[in-house]
A and B are shown apart, each in its own frame.
Chain A
Amino acid sequence: MSSDARPTSEGGQAENAEPLLAFADALLASTPHDPGRAAGQVQQYVTFFLRDDEIGIPILQCREIVRIGAITRVPEAPDHVRGVVNLRGRVLPAIDTRKCLGYESAPATARSRLLVVEVAGRAFALLVDRVSRILKLAPADIAAQPENAKVRSAIGVARDGNSTIIITDAERILRPGCASEVPTPRSEEA
């Protein structure tokens, strides 16, 4: 009996930001700002950290914040889905938010949380490094992304004192993976 283990394939390899930026630009060009959102009203955003970047999404899309329990791997899940989690009997996909936004994946830490969001009636658990705060922003507070920005599918950036917050929403975070659902390549049934 052999007991030598296969090498574990660590998920994230370092990604170059350049192609991502091009990708993000193309994406933004193809998705004009939501007119309903530009209505000039102050909105609240929940912010969280990925590595050193603070990212905000509308509070209206957030359901709750929970500690990370067991994540069950699902065979052949797309790259950005870590697996599924049990939220009071509901089974939700656990989204590797880092991967969705073009960061390297990282193992969860004690401060990592699941930010449960709801998009078009579907609920997802976004894995984030830590949840930060709630911000009130008017559309005018959100500026275009600077040239050196490295976050895919951002709407813009907001400034709060010394910190810069990247503003996006759950749809945009989920879009690259969920829209084009291309799992690992394999031959398909004819």
Chain B
Amino acid sequence: MEELFSSLVRDFVDETAPIAREVGGLLLKLEAVWTAGGDAKPLLRAVRGGLHTIKGNSAMMGLAPIERVAHALEDVCAQVEGRQGREQAAQLLFEGCDLLLALIQAALAGSVDGKLADAFVERARASSEAAAAPKMISVSDESSPPAEAAGSVPPVAMDSEEGRGTARIADREVDDLLELTGETIVGHTELARVHGRLARGQFEASDVALMDQLLTDLGRTTREMRHKLLRVRLAPIATLFRRFGRFLRDLARERGQAIELCIEGGDTAVDRAIISRLYEPLVHIVRNAVAHGIEPVDERVARGKPAKAQILLSARLREGRVNICVADDGRGLDLRAIAAKANAQGMDTGNLSERDLQRLIFQSGFSTALSVSNLAGRGVGLDVVASVVQGLGGSIDVRGTSGRGTVFVLDLPVTVSLQKALIFGVDSETFAAPAGFVLDTMESREKNMQAIGRVLLVSWRGDFVRAVDAGRLLGCQGLAQAWARPYAIVLQAGNKRGALLVDWFSGVQEIVVKPLDESLAGCRMIAGATVLAQGRVVPILDCVEVVRRTNVALLPETPSVAKAEASYDVF
């Protein structure tokens, strides 16, 4: 019984929290329309629709405090129509909406604070009495879902924002998955039947063909299943970006300055695991942009910029990865301040390029804020942001033009967990190389190999590629004459190539990527691990690092001595 109830509460939270967030977004628009002086009625109606749904849902769950707050907010909406006191109403609505969200989430823990709710309801009533509405306009279409009226925001299908790990799946998708599961089970049963016959020694000539067919079918259904499940994990990045509307509004108010949020590519689908972990880093970057980048209004006007500042959040798919930009039209990075700061820390910046200088801001202990304000100087640096992004398998970069603005670019995988990889072995060890970096595989015959001094080269399509014995590079124990390995894997990372000499490789296969513990962060050539058949753990190469090292690796001074000492001349 208890379990049933708690699952109902979970459903309630999963369903209602997104609506509350939705209402929050609508309020931002509403405020904008009020300021601009447009027709706010459709928006107001949408807000009321959302509130009404929240009210109904919470009444059904017997969560009276939430119901009362939603009701009070509906009243605020009703009374504000066609009248003044909008600013006060907006503030009440914003606060009430925050409170709703907090209360809804508190329902999960079973601790909805009735006092908080009552205090708010009381305040809302007091303010509406003070405003003393002469007439109340009733809105007939209260039950219309908020999204329809807003016109642009689709109903939230997935609530990834809290990182609680719940996904909402359309019935149809569940049906599809069930059907695929059914097919898999049938396939298994068939295979078991054939196996039974074989075990009894009753082999039939047609069994090979039958098993062929069964295996092909099983392969297809399991692949499809995974593909469909993977899609469930994806969510539009707008769910993340939209949270910044409110965040920026509050930041802008604090500074008494108008800042506009522009969103592009909000429908880009990204793994929910990534979305949920990106909020904090983006908050930091956006806060940084406002604190360090955007000039006060008078300075902007003096520079001939529009008084209203802009922050752009954009997402774009590129080569199987997603690029997220946070751009502002502020004063850009102050290279001189960065250099001064670096010098103060005892760093020589004389021979650093502009790009290198800019990237210094990702080092720890680097903050060039002139004054420690509420926004900046909280002790969390961009270095933390950079490490979070790296933890997700991505990278971060910054570009700025003095006086014109700053752009942060986050390059991330679309999904964190699945990758295609080439499995290869050297000595008795097995490794995986992400397929995106693998250009080619080939036999490494002696006539392909050439040593110039201590540099080993392999010829590949008329080109020479630096090569290294994978066993030596990866520190495996075993035989190692540089060209004794039968195969070479040609890797490309960025514009650099490198070849690994290996004992064997098997085809490209999909692997599930597992992160490694921080205690292994020093293993720069290894990006993670995967678990292959029979539970075998296999390290995944960080091909960028591997290619870099391949290009500085040298053959042992005199091979025979090097073998005896097992020395490493790779860096």
List residues of A whose CB falls within 8 A of some B CB: 1-9, 69-70, 72-78, 81, 84-86, 89-93, 122-124, 174, 177-178, 181-183, 186-187, 189
- On whether A78 and B539 interact (CB within 8 A), knowing A6-B478, A92-B517, the answer reads no
Chain A hits for B514, CB < 8 A: 89-91
Is B563 an interface residue when CB atoms closer than 8 A count as contact? yes
Point out the residues of chain B lying under 8 angstroms from A76, CB to CB. Answer: 475, 522-526
Partner of A85, one of B477, B480, B537, B564: B537
4 closest residue pairs by CB, A with B: A183-B522, A72-B537, A6-B566, A75-B474
* Closest chain A CB from B96 CB (angstroms): 35
Q: Which of A1, A69, A75, A86 contacts B539 (CB 8 A)?
A: A75
Question: In the assembled complex, which residues on chain B have CB atoms less than 8 Å from the CB atom of A93?
Answer: 516-517, 519-520
Contact with A along B543-571 (1 / 0, CB 8 A): 00000100000000000000110101001
Q: Is the beta-carbon distance between A177 and B537 smaller than 8 angstroms?
A: no
Q: Which residues of A contact B378 (CB under 8 A)?
A: none
Contacts of A178 in B (CB 8 A): 518-519
Chain A residues contacting B198 (CB-CB under 8 Å) are: none
Give the residues in chain B near A123, CB-CB below 8 Å.
517
Contact between chains at B523 and A7 (CB < 8 Å)? no
Contacts of A81 in B (CB 8 A): 519-520
Contact assessment for A5 and B479 in the assembled complex, using a CB-CB cutoff below 8 Å:
yes
Q: Are B477 and A75 in contact (CB under 8 A)?
A: no
Residues of A with C-beta under 8 A to B568: 186
Task: Name B's A-contacting residues (CB within 8 A).
Answer: 429, 473-475, 477-481, 484, 514-526, 529, 531, 535-539, 548, 563-564, 566, 568, 571
What residues on B are CB-neighbors of A4 within 8 Å?
479, 563
Query: Which of A2, A4, A84, A177: most chain B CB closer than 10 A?
Result: A84
- Main secondary structure, interface of A, reads loop
Which residue in B478, B518, B537 is a CB contact (below 8 Å) of A86? B537
Does A74 lie within 8 Å of B566, measured CB to CB? no
A74 touches B539 (CB 8 A): yes
* Contact (Cβ within 8 A) A91 B521: no
- Tell me the bound Cα distance from A186 to B552 in angstroms: 13
Residues of A within 8 A of B564 (CB): 6-7
**B537-A84 in contact (CB<8A):** yes
Residue of B nearest to A72 (CB): B537
Q: B487 CB to closest chain A CB, in angstroms?
A: 14
Q: CA–CA, A178 to B564, complex, Å?
A: 32
B477 touches A8 (CB 8 A): yes
Distance between Cα atoms of A89 and B521 in the complex (Å): 20
| A177 vs B522: C-alpha distance when bound (angstroms) | 12
Q: Which of A9, A91, A93, A178 has the most CB of B within 10 A?
A: A91
13 pairs, A vs B, C-beta closer than 8 Å: A1-B481, A5-B479, A72-B537, A72-B539, A74-B539, A75-B475, A75-B526, A76-B523, A76-B525, A77-B523, A84-B537, A85-B537, A91-B529
A84 touches B523 (CB 8 A): no
B477 and A6 contact, CB distance less than 8 A: yes
Q: A93-B520, A122-B517 are in contact. List 12 more A-B contacts (CB 8 A).
A: A2-B479, A5-B477, A70-B537, A72-B538, A75-B474, A76-B524, A84-B516, A84-B539, A89-B531, A91-B514, A93-B519, A124-B517
A76 to B549, CA, bound (A): 13
A5 and B537: CB pair below 8 A?
no
In the bound complex, residues from chain B placing their C-beta under 8 Å from that of A177 are: 519
The answer to whether B516 and A73 have CB atoms under 8 Å apart is no
Least CB distance from A184 to B in Å reads 9
Contact check, B571 vs A91: say whether CB atoms are below 8 A apart. no
A86 touches B475 (CB 8 A): no
| A77 to B481 alpha-carbon distance, docked (Å) | 24
Contacts of B536 in A (CB 8 A): 70, 72, 86
Q: Is the CB of A73 within 8 A of B429?
A: yes
Q: Cα distance A177–B517 when bound, in Å?
A: 13
Which chain A residues border B537 with CB–CB below 8 Å?
Answer: 70, 72, 84-86, 91
Least Cβ distance of A164 to chain B in Å? 30
Q: What's the Cα separation between A72 and B181 when bound, in Å?
A: 33
Complex Cα distance, B475 from A187, in Å, reads 16
Would B474 and A2 count as touching, CB distance under 8 A?
A: no
Residue among B519, B536, B564, B566 with the most chain A CB within 10 A? B519
CA distance A84 to B429 in the complex (A): 13
The answer to whether A75 touches B525 (Cβ under 8 A) is: yes
With a cutoff of 8 Å between Cβ atoms, the chain B residues found around residue A2 in the complex are 479, 481, 484, 563
Contacts of B478 in A (CB 8 A): 5-6
Chain B nearest CB, measured from A37 CB (Å): 24
Closest to B356 in A: A190
How many angstroms between the C-alpha atoms of A174 and B517 in the bound complex? 13
Bound complex: CA of A174 vs CA of B519, how far in Å?
10
State which of B518, B519, B571 has its C-beta within 8 Å of the C-beta of A187.
B571
Q: Tell me, rounded to whole Å, the shortest Cβ–Cβ distance linking A88 to chain B.
A: 9
Is there an interface contact between B517 and A86, defined as CB atoms closer than 8 Å? no
